[in-house]
């Protein structure tokens, strides 16, 4: 399916030690306004309340990555704007035109996807940043990359922006990898606490892309990500949804990885691994009710590094999605970046702001009955397609 194949020259990347970082100051210009999700009127408060998807979240993550010396160990990868050809690999021409018009006026790209005038160029830069991360990894310039981009993308449908997302960055980057480098099998793990409905829709009938989503059950969008949503046609079995009950902590997530994510990922044997990394399953997040900590995000990243190393010479691209705890999510994102550069023998530098409670909370150590039942249901649903 390659239209400009460079896969023969990509080669193994296990000997390339450095990770890469895609970040552009213009990501911080993406203006979601002062409204709280669906509020359309001026706030009655004397002090305006910023939108929950604030530029500070990504900006603070970058600050921590710099402050703790992580970016010193990462190759900076410049981003450029995705062109119409790249966007059309998923999005409709009408939707691209609509976003272009909104780029002049500002407005909502669909359902809860606000942007100010000028937002189109930044959204294209986010998609282009994910593509640039793919280029660097597939060319062997680096082993793995973190695309710290904004706005996020995994909710964006072909013809509709949703959930703060304008263009679906990971879908566009995955198609770019297949078309430019001639690879076929792509794994996308989405650990954002909200279901990646746009990504699922893009690949629901596609057996070349394995989409795995861990998310809080029926949180957003309502009706998406059920355990029986497993793909259609040729794609049957290549969508793996793991909906978890509110309050699931590390014990539940670790069990999900050990019982479902890692076995299926390794059986699929991808040629490139993506992580849609939303750090909104954290203990502090205002839009969800999960209990993950900074260390847990580092651990999840390291597990996906191991999948990539075993399956495809280490080729891994992490793309930023959500995470809305203003003081905490940036630490979780920085821990993900840290995992990309550190060795197994190194002691993490990113601290745990939650303190001792991070490891003492019950959900970190005990698998709740509801979480256990949810995992059993997911295993049962996937057994016809995978060895579990």
- Give the residue numbers marked as catalytic: 155
- Bridge partner list, 20: 75, 145
Alpha carbon 238 to chain centroid, angstroms? 18
The values of phi and psi at residue 294, to 5°, are -55, -45
For the chain, give the secondary structure using H, E and C. Answer: CCCCCCHHHHCCCCCCCCEEEECCHHHHHCCCCCCCCCCCCCCCCCCCCCCCCCHHHHHHHHHHHHHCCCHHHEEEECCCCCCHHHHCCCCCHHHHHHHHHHHHHCEECEECCEECCCHHHHHHHHHHHHHHHHHHHHCCCCCEEEECCCCCCCCCECCEEECCECCCHHHHHHHHHHHHHCCCCEEEEECCCCCCHHHHHHHCCCCCEEEEEEEECCCCCCCCCCCCCCCCHHHCCCEEEEEECCCCCHHHHHHHHHHHHHHHHHHHCCCEEEEEECCCCECCCCCCCCCECHHHHHHHHHHHHHHHHHHHCCCEEEEECCCCCCCCHHHHHHHHHHHHHCCCCCCCCCCCCCCCHHHHCHHHHCCCHHHHHHHHHHHHHHCCCCCC
Give the list of residues 6+ apart from residue 197 with CB closer than 8 angstroms, or none: 154, 155, 157, 162, 221, 224, 225
CB atoms within 10 A of CB 6: 14
């Amino acid at each position: 399916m390659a239209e400009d194949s460079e896969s023969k020259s990509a080669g193994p990347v296990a000997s390339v030690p450095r990770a890469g970082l895609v970040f552009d100051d213009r990501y911080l210009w993406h203006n979601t306004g002062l409204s709280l999700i669906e509020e359309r009127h001026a706030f009655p408060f004397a002090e305006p309340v910023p939108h929950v998807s604030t530029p500070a979240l990504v900006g603070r993550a970058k600050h921590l990555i710099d402050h703790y010396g992580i970016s010193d160990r990462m190759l900076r990868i410049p981003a450029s704007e995705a062109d119409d050809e790249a966007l059309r690999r998923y999005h409709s021409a009408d939707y691209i035109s609509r976003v272009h018009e909104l780029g002049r006026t500002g407005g909502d790209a669909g359902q809860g996807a606000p942007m100010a005038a000028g937002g189109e160029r930044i959204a294209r830069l986010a998609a282009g940043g994910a593509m640039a991360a793919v280029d660097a990894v597939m060319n062997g310039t680096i082993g793995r990359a973190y695309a710290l981009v904004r706005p996020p993308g995994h909710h964006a449908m072909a013809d509709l922006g949703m959930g703060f997302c304008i263009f679906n960055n990971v879908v566009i980057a995955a198609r770019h990898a297949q078309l430019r480098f001639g690879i076929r099998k792509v794994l996308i793990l989405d650990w954002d606490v909200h279901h990646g409905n746009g990504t699922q829709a893009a690949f629901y009938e596609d057996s070349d892309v394995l989409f795995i989503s861990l998310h809080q059950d029926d949180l957003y969008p309502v009706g998406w990500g059920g355990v029986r949503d497993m793909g259609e046609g040729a794609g049957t079995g290549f969508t793996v949804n793991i909906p978890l009950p509110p309050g699931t902590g590390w014990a539940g997530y670790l069990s999900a990885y050990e019982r479902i994510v890692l076995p299926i990922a390794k059986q699929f044997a991808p040629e490139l691994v993506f992580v849609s990394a939303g750090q909104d399953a954290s203990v502090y997040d205002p839009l969800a009710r999960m209990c993950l900590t900074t260390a847990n995000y580092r651990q999840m990243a390291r597990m996906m590094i191991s999948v990539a190393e075993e399956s495809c010479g280490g080729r891994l691209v992490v793309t930023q999605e959500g995470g809305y705890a203003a003081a905490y999510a940036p630490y979780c994102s920085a821990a993900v970046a840290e995992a990309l550069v550190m060795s197994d023998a190194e002691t993490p530098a990113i601290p745990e702001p939650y303190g001792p409670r991070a490891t003492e909370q019950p959900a970190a150590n005990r698998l709740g009955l509801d979480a256990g039942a949810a995992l059993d249901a997911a295993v049962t649903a996937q057994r016809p397609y995978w060895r579990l």
